[in-house]
Amino acid sequence: MDLRKGQIEPILDPNQSTYVYHLALDIGGSLAKVVYFTKDDDYFVDSEEGISNKKALEKSNGSRQYPVLNGRLNFKKFETSKINDCLEFINSMKLHFGGNQEQEIPGSQPIAVKATGGGAYKYADLFKERLGIILDKEDEMDCLVAGANFLLEVVHQEAFTYMGDQKQFVQIDQNDLYPYLLVNIGSGVGMIKVEGEGKFERVSGTSIGGGTFWGLGKLLTNCKSFDELLELSYRGNNRAVDMLVGDIYGGMDYSKIGLSSTAIASSFGKAISDNRDREDYKPEDIARSLLRMISNNIGQISYLNALRFGLKRIFFGGFFIRRHPFTMDTLSVAVNFWSKGEAKAMFLRHEGFLGAVGAFMSSDKHGLKELLANQVVQKAPSKLSFAVDKIIHGQPDGDESIECSVYAA
Amino acid sequence: MDLRKGQIEPILDPNQSTYVYHLALDIGGSLAKVVYFTKDDDYFVDSEEGISNKKALEKSNGSRQYPVLNGRLNFKKFETSKINDCLEFINSMKLHFGGNQEQEIPGSQPIAVKATGGGAYKYADLFKERLGIILDKEDEMDCLVAGANFLLEVVHQEAFTYMGDQKQFVQIDQNDLYPYLLVNIGSGVGMIKVEGEGKFERVSGTSIGGGTFWGLGKLLTNCKSFDELLELSYRGNNRAVDMLVGDIYGGMDYSKIGLSSTAIASSFGKAISDNRDREDYKPEDIARSLLRMISNNIGQISYLNALRFGLKRIFFGGFFIRRHPFTMDTLSVAVNFWSKGEAKAMFLRHEGFLGAVGAFMSSDKHGLKELLANQVVQKAPSKLSFAVDKIIHGQPDGDESIECSVYAA
């Protein structure tokens, strides 16, 4: 009846033959992320997943039959510089009214929506004026950690390792999940030591992050988007601009300290050449060198902090990664190199939506959150539907939705 | 008579009314450093410094009167890309012959000169062909550490702290010198844990160093030299290109995790703006942002490694710094911020010549090295003469010489 208190009620969404339940926002320096829940229809469990859920439920209330709320968690993102697109999407979907036209009555009270990220403060007035939404602010770190914990605990095949073009899903034993280092690579980079539900500390970070890649890349190439720059880096060779150990040692290794001739001695160190200007370097080589410089650096600082607190697992999230193979490989290699194989780099399927999922979970403290946290179950991975939004072009990560079932036990 | 074995003999140098004794090279990725010793004239000690030296000598041989060899350690550098300038200088000064014309006899055997850095390998043939010099290669790390230890132990007012425009010389108690972290910032950055004479380990490093500053700076501005770029950064404001916490939080701090609104959230993160191209950003702002990004990062990684090994003192050397106040301040602030005041950043007056001094000391294992290491004494700091070489223009660090006395005890 009322979204303001975060209570939930299925309301027909005219744009889809589904119900819109719930909405949360994470508005960062570069991207605004939206997570919302859409309901399909109720049924009684008899599927294979049902059985496992049934078991879960038997534990909780001993019933043998129970209604199931089938639905999806939907993920969508917008550029923060185009925040109006985000407002329009919410408005067109009537997400803030749970999709209910009728609530748009004059003088209706403002509606509270959970939001995190700096934009929750920066754009608070805009959301109020344009949509009558009051952004109910949640702390950024709280949300990042809550989102990561939820995804790691609930979603099958959320975490994976990536090295040498080998992607490998890792099923995390929930009893063995903590402690870990969460590295969120957005415009900047935050590093958080996570020891349990709501038990964490921001231990480090670096200003050399996704905004640096895109900012420097934009100044150095003619790329029109982050993803175009990322695409470009596929084709590049960093040796054209980086000074390698071999360039200094006349092709030789500096074996005494274990530096091979192909190791990077100085990122962009070859660009100091007097007789060459920017035009003489290929944009793809510059993009590649930038990506390697930044990924390497993040991997190194992450490792040093994992070492500091004795954390064996480092989960990398944030929209810098975008499932880009070279980025993930560089981060993995850096962590592996510096830790001599001691620490492991892992990645999250929903890397960019940690904060938004956390904000989503933060609402309705005693209802939907528990329902989901305890009982959301994905269908078999093969049935996962990735509804890539065609409006946002060429995002390797895509906008997607997770089919899930909520048990109204 | 013969420099090949590193034995020393004063020989008239026609270019100065001094004697040239000794020569060593450190050829890095960007700069080639030369250290050579020139002798003035002998005298018997009766000066105030003499007394202290006398005491030192009484310890060593009990004599009450002793001859003094007065001279200078001279420091000179060249761009590695212009290595021929270095060859010509050595040739014109006849440094490889100890300034002795007569040794240039046909068929004279090649002369051995101590050299370190990658260029000692890369340019070995060039030196042999052009000057008949065999570069007697010394390990880079060995030389860096030997040079730093020598300067810290022997030269008054070598080490200083710099913060908030306050430069403060630190007299290091030699019994309390070790252990320390030596961070050498050349084209790339090497980090060495030093525990004593010749007792050290390269523990870390980063490819984001001086070559990155100059390489990226050259691509992004029209600067013609490293020092021009450094000059430029004085006048810049990084807020024009960096995304600050306040830019994300609508001017607010993110106080919960101790990030002020003026903290850099994302270096170059503001350059992602769609409606601005490179031409719309001031070169001085870009230079400033680059310098801050790189200095910050080096300071952070240095601190994390100091912490790892429980090192309270971090000495920064290498030609990236060039006594640039903003660079030193940024490094100091970064170390202070991340270590919460636990660790201290210190700088070396002869920052760029550590490797060359180390190579110089490495020669003549049983003669000049001991003489200097034990008995070189500077005149009172006020009498230090800095003979800045006018040929190399606008180097804040300059080429200089140290007046020193060698006691031929």
Test mutation, A208, A254, A288, A305, chain B, max B CBs within 10 A: A208
Q: Say whether pLDDT at A397 is over 50.
A: no
CB-based contact B249 A273, cutoff 8 Å: no
Residue A340 touches chain B, beta carbons under 8 Å: no
Alpha-carbon span B186 to A341, nearest angstrom: 28
pLDDT in tens, A330-378: 999 999 988 888 899 999 989 999 999 999 887 654 335 444 444 444 3
Percent of chain B past pLDDT 70, that is, above it, reads 72
pLDDT of residue A128: 93
Shared domain check, A101 and A11: yes
Q: Tell me B318's DSSP state.
A: S
pLDDT of residue B92: 87
CB-based contact A208 B264, cutoff 8 Å: no
Shared domain check, A229 and A359: no
Distance from CA of B4 to the nearest CA of A (A): 24
> Which of A225-229, A245-249, B112-116, B128-132 is the least confident region?
A245-249
Alpha-carbon span B214 to A142, nearest angstrom: 40
Amino acid at B111: I
Neighbours of B40 (CB within 10 A): 17
B 164-193 residues with CB below 8 A of A? 186-188
Partners of B304 on chain A (C-beta within 8 Å) are: 204, 301, 304-305, 308
Shared domain check, B45 and B109: yes
Average pLDDT, chain A: 77
Distance from CA of A190 to the nearest CA of B (A): 9
Q: Compute the residue count for chain A.
A: 409
Closest CA to B97 of B44, B23, B17: B23
Closest CA to A25 of A365, A363, A403: A363
pLDDT of residue A162: 94
Partners of A264 on chain B (C-beta within 8 Å) are: 188, 207
pLDDT of residue B72: 74
A272 lies in some domain: no
Partner residue facing B208 (CB), from A218, A226, A267: A267
Residue B119 touches chain A, beta carbons under 8 Å: yes
Q: Report the run of H or E that residue B153 belongs to, with start and end.
A: helix B140-154
Closest CA to B103 of B24, B7, B1: B1
Rounded alpha-carbon distances, angstroms, from residue A333 to A20, A98, A292: 42, 45, 11
pLDDT of residue A191: 97
CA A149 to chain centre: 12
B252 lies in some domain: no
Residue A218 touches chain B, beta carbons under 8 Å: yes
Residue A268 touches chain B, beta carbons under 8 Å: yes
Neighbours of B114 (CB within 10 A): 25
B122 lies in some domain: yes
Closest CA to A149 of A158, A161, A162, A140: A158
Shared domain check, A331 and A231: yes
φ, ψ dihedrals at A387, nearest 5°: -85, 80
SS (H, E, C) chain A: CCCCCCCCCCEEECCCCEEEEEEEEEECCCEEEEEEEEEEEEEECCCHHHHHHHHHHHHHHCCCCCEEEEEEEEEEEEEHHHHHHHHHHHHHHCHHHCCCHHHCCCCCCCEEEEEECCHHHHCHHHHHHHHCEEEEECCHHHHHHHHHHHHHHHCCCCEEEEECCEEEECCCCHHHCCCEEEEEECCCEEEEEEEECCEEEEEEEECCCHHHHHHHHHHHCCCCCHHHHHHHHHCCCHHHCCEEHHHHCCCCCEHHHCECCCCEEECCHHHHCCCCCHHHCCHHHHHHHHHHHHHHHHHHHHHHHHHHCCCCEEEEECCCCCCCHHHHHHHHHHHHHHCCCCCEEEEECCHHHHHHHHHHHHCCCCCHHHHHHHHCCECCHHHCCCCCCCCCCCCCCCCCEEEEEEECC
B281 against A386, higher pLDDT: B281
Is residue A229 within 8 Å of A215, Cβ to Cβ?
A: no
CB-based contact A296 B207, cutoff 8 Å: yes
Residue A272 touches chain B, beta carbons under 8 Å: yes
Partner residue facing A266 (CB), from B188, B252, B297: B188
Which of A332, A348, A364 delimits the end of a domain? Answer: A348
Task: Identify the CATH number of the domain in which residue B370 sits.
Answer: 3.30.420
Test mutation, A125, A207, A261, A305, chain B, max B CBs within 10 A: A207
Shared domain check, A62 and A20: yes
B 73-92 residues with CB below 8 A of A? 81
CA B231 to chain centre: 19
Confidence of residue A405 (pLDDT cuts 50, 70, 90): low
Partners of A214 on chain B (C-beta within 8 Å) are: 269, 272
Q: Determine the residue of chain A that is closest to B201 in CA distance.
A: A257
Owning domain of residue A378: 3-140+353-408
Shared domain check, A357 and A342: no
* CA Rg value for chain B: 23
pLDDT in tens, B223-237: 999 999 999 999 999
Shared domain check, A133 and A25: yes
pLDDT in tens, A89-137: 998 887 776 555 445 544 556 688 899 999 999 999 999 999 988 999 9
B323 lies in some domain: yes
B394 lies in some domain: yes
Number of structural domains (chain A) is 2
Is residue B300 within 8 Å of B290, Cβ to Cβ?
A: no
Distance from CA of B29 to the nearest CA of A (A): 5
φ, ψ dihedrals at B163, nearest 5°: -155, 135
> Which tokens in the block code for residue B253?
């701090």
Neighbours of A391 (CB within 10 A): 10
Closest CA to B21 of B113, B149, B133: B113
A267 lies in some domain: no
pLDDT in tens, A178-187: 999 999 999 9
CB-based contact B300 A249, cutoff 8 Å: no
SS (H, E, C) B204-236: EEECCCHHHHHHHHHHHCCCCCHHHHHHHHHCC
Sign of the dihedral through C-alpha A219, B206, B307, B157:
negative
Is the model's pTM score more than 0.90?
no
Alpha-carbon span B353 to B6, nearest angstrom: 20
What are all long-range contacts of B168-172, with beta carbons under 8 Å and residues at least 24 apart?
B170/B346
Distance from CA of B304 to the nearest CA of A (A): 7
A79 lies in some domain: yes
Alpha-carbon span B18 to B11, nearest angstrom: 9
pLDDT of residue A300: 96
CB-based contact A211 B281, cutoff 8 Å: no
Q: Say whether pLDDT at A66 is over 50.
A: no
Distance from CA of A218 to the nearest CA of B (A): 7
pLDDT of residue A370: 43
CB-based contact B250 A215, cutoff 8 Å: no
pLDDT of residue A45: 41
Q: Tell me B100's DSSP state.
A: -
Q: Determine the residue of chain B that is closest to A202 in CA distance.
A: B257
pLDDT of residue A360: 87
Average pLDDT, chain B: 77
CB-based contact A267 B220, cutoff 8 Å: no
Residue B299 touches chain A, beta carbons under 8 Å: no
- CB burial of B6-17 (b: ≥16 within 10 Å; e: otherwise) equals bebebbebeeee
Shared domain check, A368 and A338: no
Which of A296, A314, A348 delimits the end of a domain? Answer: A348
CA A160 to chain centre: 14
Q: Say whether pLDDT at B375 is over 50.
A: no
Rounded alpha-carbon distances, angstroms, from residue B351 to A173, B199, B342, B394: 51, 20, 23, 17
Rounded alpha-carbon distances, angstroms, from residue B408 to A37, A360, B366, B369, B405: 86, 79, 13, 12, 9
CB-based contact A81 B274, cutoff 8 Å: yes
Neighbours of B20 (CB within 10 A): 27
CB-based contact B219 A117, cutoff 8 Å: no
pLDDT in tens, B165-192: 899 999 888 888 999 999 999 999 999 9
Shared domain check, A237 and A126: no
Phi-psi bin for A288: left (phi > 0), alpha (psi -120 to 50), beta? Answer: alpha
Partner residue facing B29 (CB), from A207, A214, A269: A269
Confidence of residue B75 (pLDDT cuts 50, 70, 90): confident
B160 lies in some domain: no
Q: Tell me B332's DSSP state.
A: H
Residues 6 or more apart whose Cβ sits within 8 Å of residue B306: B181, B312, B313, B314, B335, B339, B343
> Which of B153-157, B185-189, B319-323 is the least confident region?
B153-157
CB-based contact B281 A252, cutoff 8 Å: no
CB-based contact A249 B212, cutoff 8 Å: no
pLDDT of residue B84: 96
Is residue A357 within 8 Å of A224, Cβ to Cβ?
A: no
Residue B243 touches chain A, beta carbons under 8 Å: yes
CB-based contact A81 B267, cutoff 8 Å: no
B367 against A170, higher pLDDT: A170
Task: Identify the CATH number of the domain in which residue A340 sits.
Answer: 3.30.420.40
CB-based contact A211 B269, cutoff 8 Å: yes
Distance from CA of B320 to the nearest CA of A (A): 12
Shared domain check, A328 and A224: yes
Report the pLDDT averaged over residues B16-24: 59
Shared domain check, A234 and A113: no
Q: Say whether pLDDT at A26 is over 80.
A: yes
Shared domain check, A106 and A25: yes
Is residue B113 within 8 Å of B96, Cβ to Cβ?
A: yes
Partner residue facing B215 (CB), from A272, A296, A297: A272
pLDDT in tens, A289-325: 999 999 999 999 999 999 999 999 999 999 899 888 8
